[in-house]
Structure 1
Amino acid sequence: MKRSVVKPLLIPLTAATAGSFWLSYRLFKYAFERVDHVPPTSKEKQKYADDYYRYVDWMKQVPSQTWTLNAQSPENKVVASFIPADSPTTDTVIVAHGYKGNRETMANYVKMFHDMGFNALVPDDRGHGESSGQYINFGWLDRLDYLQWIQRVISHVGQDSRILLFGVSMGGATVEMISGETLPPQVKALIADCGYASIKEELTYLLKQQFHLPEYPVEPLVSGINRHFLGFSLDDVSSTKQLAKNRLPILFIHGGRDTYVPVHMAYENYRATNAPKQLWVVKKATHAESFWYDPAAYKQRVTAFLKTYFK
């Protein structure tokens, strides 16, 4: 950021708090600013690399269409791939990717649903991939784009569409946050894999675990910086608050050894939900590893949920 942009934010600060502000600003840049590459995966998941790239190769070769929202507004453009099923169907899954990922990083899940006979719509969220945006909004603004994607699916596939929302990590939280909005009847069910309870709670947790920093004053300062640039505070970004308004069946999936989004957040999200719900904790899986740990069991669990609730 240019110094002239930062200066107005510094005016109210005393010399004693200026250091805290600059630390918080650097953390905001680190966590919220877009990157145009996918960071390396964790050491625990490196062993799945060959399988991952086979899925990516499949996704690059399968017939697809490129869809765009806000094409005439470069600063708001959002891009997605629509992959039709092999046989005509009214069933479509909308797949939300994780933090600093893109639609390509969801290739394994897209292939799973493709094999189950679904169409798939796979967006790049704001601040990721081919979509615009200087900052990552952790699903809060993305949820509004997904409302538009839902309508695009209905327009393309038909009024008799049946839509499943699915996401992993930040994408799981995005699905959870969408759940609190007014959704059309074509949306039938939700699956959220390792989504956080709120971005405030997640940031506070990572401040302690990764940076050994206290919540105060860093989190309130980061929240204020985020409000300045993105128009909302971190208190607004809550899966649990949105899930309390949800009325659709939802399957929560979480790794029991997740140290990035701790498993207690899955229980928080589960307790916040009053709709039909299931929770599957994969005891030995780390963050976003549940599919890779046992793909057959993952597909079986998803299939069983859909047989019960995707009607």
Structure 2
Amino acid sequence: MNRPNSEHGFFPDEVILQILARLPVKDLLRSKSVCKLWHKLSSDKYFIQLYNKLSVKNPMVLVEVSESSESKSSLIFIDKLSGVCDFSLDFIKDRVKVRASCNGLLCCSSIPDKGVYYVCNPMTREYKLLPRSRERPVTRFYPDGEATLVGLACDLSMQRFNVVLAGYHRSFGHRPDKTFICLVFDSVSNRWRKFVSLQDDYFTQMNRNQVVYVNGSLHWLTSSCSCILVLDLNCDIWRKISLPDELCSGSGNRVYLLELDGDLSVVQISEAWMTIWVMKDYEREEWHMVDRTLEGDVFREEQLYASFVVFCI
């Protein structure tokens, strides 16, 4: 793509790129039909990096709502520019469940076909079917022990993503043992790598929807909120991070793990307060309380009828 150039109109290409990079995704997709130049934008590396950089200032949220009386769930898309609207992943041509999100991408697993995973961009409606992580299909004789945890890591600067599947090995007819199997997919090589370690029972007490990618590592919050389990993707090593002492001493509170301006963050919501901690020093694992506000009984009534899973994209 020429930059800058006025060959295609009154404005140089660089000016046009800056304008288009600030459009909501839906409007950007519509603009692809204007001319060949604009149609090529979705595959132009320079434009993708520019759009991702500007999109950080306008975070979008995908909410999965599950009715307590039914097993079905629906998706709601929330955007500061476009508002709230229903959302569907029907472009994947499979019934899928969202398992993780990172930097605009979603990792989904097939509901009818166990062991099948997709990574998609819900805004451009593009997706990739990942190669099978195992040779044999998932059956009761060959249980899928590698999919207890699912994580997605996306490095925008490198235009690269990783998918992690991890869980205890389980032979047919036996309880899972302490052999913890981890599979990591690399989008550059288009292959899975596998490593095995021995882990304690922390890995059986995971909040599977609480996974965050920060500092080259994936972080999972245990369902008991006793600690954070970390996988360093640079060296394939598992470790633990302690939570803030004040948070660990509380009971009956809702706790969420998230990324806040590039830092690992924990949000605790009680009946009266919402408290936010941020790990400012990642190497020393030092937590700092950055905000504490009155919360009230928000969402209490709604939680009787539905549960929510929030994916930041």
Structure-1-length-normalised TM-score: 0.28
| Greater share of helix | 1
Higher RCO (C-alpha 8 Å, min separation 6) = 1
TM-score (norm 2): 0.28
